[in-house]
Amino acid sequence: MAGETRKTIVNSWNEWDPLKHVIVGVADGCMIPPSEPASECKIPIDSDMKGKWGPRPQETVEKANIQLDNFAKILEDRGIRVDRPTPLDFSQAVSTPDWEMLSMFGCMPPRDVIVTVGNEMLEATMSYRSRWFEYLCYRPLIEQYYKEDPNMRWEAAPKPRLTDASYKPGYLSRVMTNEDRLKLTAAKDFVTTEKEPLFDAAEFARFGKDIVIQHGFTANLAGINWVSRHFPDLRIHAMNFPGDPYPIHIDCTFIPLRPGLVLNNPIRHVLPEHRKFFEMNDWEIVEAAPAAHENPPPLCYSSVWLSMNVLVLDPKTVCVEASEHATMEQLEKLGFEVVPVPFRDAYPFGGGLHCATTDVYREGDCEDYFPKQVEGF
Ligand code: ABU
């Protein structure tokens, strides 16, 4: 069936089953938002974005859109239906009774905002004020899916208030050096408090009946607890990865590739007790190959580890950014057909190939890949 004529069914249980319908973001109107309590700590110390805010240069938006459109075309040519979000005017100021932001962000990374679990699409709470309204860009699609698929569940997590009580006062002054950050993040001392449930959708790694959520800057334990209660039939596991000074979104850290195989960032370590859980269930955790670049492109929030931010199309096929030769070679050796996708111009707008997508339909059902469970994890 050609991608664009595929009937709407919402279903996706993991990160690797055959992908048939996906949302790919767009770069239009993307802003660098003004500083806010969440972002101050999350923008790297040496980032060229420190202290800057406003619209991104138009020529960079155009280049990013060329790569996003090309990525969408590559997927469509493989029979995958691709839908695109509807951008808002992200330059407008937004407010709630508790705060005002002078701009929003954008809608290039749908993975951050919407997570699909089985027949449900769940709008995340989000953790930045500038991204509080971003779900609206996906509403036209979600409303359409809801009408077309009578079995779809459309859910939204409680909107957080994001007052100053959701962020630790003075956190920034405690993370002046990289060493400070590494100590604090290893001790699970993150900028967000436990005042209210918070999670970005990109903290999820889905393994059928088991979902791993990274506990870090953009998901707190209250958020992970909310997800556990929301999905009582699934097993939700909180993980954190010492070695990551900016624990934001799991998809440059721990990427499931197919049943039994996960890619792990070589400097963001899986804790021994978590490794044991995977290994006792016959999963192999392999260290990702080195990134090809020493630095991210200009005005980019993400790390060079977007090298491992791959999109798995099925258990034998994976999309990799076209300049990441070591990653491509590694995945070929692991038995994958690699589809190279030029994407570095899109990185500054919200990340890599996994970030820029969210699943609507993957074949397959909810399977139990971890029959051996561990108390308390
Ligand atoms: N949105 C993924 C970013 C993770 C990283 O910068 O490593």
pLDDT category at 284 given cuts 50, 70, 90 is very high
pLDDT of residue 1 exceeding 90, the answer is no
DSSP string across 242-304: TT-SS---GGGTEEEEETTEEEE-TTSPPPHHHHHHHHHTT-EEEEPPPPS-SSPPTT--S-G
Average pLDDT, the chain: 96
pLDDT of residue 3 exceeding 70, the answer is no
Question: 36-40, 163-167, 208-212, 245-249: which range is least confident on average?
Answer: 36-40
pLDDT for 43: 78
Q: Please give the distance, rounded to the nearest whole angstrom, from the Cα atom of residue 61 to the centre of ligand 1.
A: 20
pLDDT digits (tens, 9 = 90+) for 297-333: 999 999 999 999 999 999 999 999 999 999 999 999 9
d(CA 312, CA 355): 12
pLDDT category at 45 given cuts 50, 70, 90 is confident
Most informative mutation of 41, 127, 249 for ligand 1 (most atoms within 8 A of CB): 249
Beta partners for residue 254, in sequence order:
264
Q: Please give the distance, rounded to the nearest whole angstrom, from the Cα atom of residue 144 to the centre of ligand 1.
A: 30
Instruction: Say which residue the tokens 């929301």 belong to.
Output: 230
Q: Which ligand 1 atom sits nearest the alpha carbon of residue 305? A: 7
Output the ligand 1 site: residues, CB below 6 A. Answer: 202, 248-249, 251-252, 302-303, 305, 351, 355
d(CA 119, CA 339): 28
Which residue's CA is the nearest one to ligand 1's atom 7?
303
Instruction: Say which residue the tokens 């695109």 belong to.
Output: 84
pLDDT category at 112 given cuts 50, 70, 90 is very high
Closest by CA position to 180, among listed 69, 140, 172: 172
d(CA 198, CA 206): 18
User: H or E stretch including 356?
Assistant: none
Q: Which ligand 1 atom sits nearest the alpha carbon of residue 244? A: 7
Q: Please give the distance, rounded to the nearest whole angstrom, from the Cα atom of residue 281 to the centre of ligand 1.
A: 27
Residues designated as active site = 200, 249, 355
Mean pLDDT for 222-244 is 98
Q: What percent of the chain has pLDDT over 70?
A: 99
CA atoms within 13 A on the CB side of 42: 24
Which residue's CA is the nearest one to ligand 1's atom 3?
302
More confident site: 45 or 282: 282
H runs (alpha helix) in the chain: 37-42, 58-77, 139-148, 178-186, 221-230, 272-280, 325-333
Most informative mutation of 303, 308, 321, 353 for ligand 1 (most atoms within 8 A of CB): 303
pLDDT of residue 4 exceeding 70, the answer is no
Mean pLDDT for 340-362 is 98
Q: Please give the distance, rounded to the nearest whole angstrom, from the Cα atom of residue 251 to the centre of ligand 1.
A: 7
Look up the pTM and report it.
0.97
CA-to-CA separations, 371 to 256, 361, 368, in angstroms, rounded: 17, 25, 6
pLDDT category at 51 given cuts 50, 70, 90 is confident
Q: Please give the distance, rounded to the nearest whole angstrom, from the Cα atom of residue 223 to the centre of ligand 1.
A: 19
